[in-house]
Structure 1
């Protein structure tokens, strides 16, 4: 073994692993990098529900589970109001998977039954 790797192995056995190269600057860069990445990924998200009316069958399950009564059925299709608290109950309940909060349209939603 090389001297540095032997020393690292001894330190690990003692319970004090070597942390060469992980200084305060690296920690700060990682912290700010994560925050910046998360901000850029979520800045276009909104609390407005998007309902694909072409896929909605008007079953009313989303309206029934909404604790804020934010969803109503109009002309056989679900319509969203302005009181969404982002609880995701309607999204989870919709059998047609036509409701989303993230993005402009529903791409795919997976249910746990798919993996059981």
Structure 2
């Protein structure tokens, strides 16, 4: 696992119509793009292993976001894998191993390779 890819989809539900805005990799391009969050060191993940977590984005003073994770405080209780974000620190730990990798994520510092023209 080299990192995570993130995007968003928003449904604007109106009385006359619904408009969907998506930055997904399969959707029409916009001026917003997917976000990649790379680990400093890739880790091997087997098909039978699961990595999970909850992402919480908080606006910062750079007109961007810091990333935080809400999860259990007792990692020994987790039965599969664990991924966490604490103040922009991306940490991945695989269950039953001492394998982990981390990186600091600042969304305002993302670098993009645009594969299509913005709509």
Give the TM-score taking structure 1 as reference length.
Answer: 0.24
Instruction: Name the structure with the higher strand share.
Output: 2
Give 1 or 2 for the bigger CA radius of gyration.
1
Give the TM-score taking structure 2 as reference length.
Answer: 0.24
Instruction: Name the structure with the higher helix share.
Output: 1
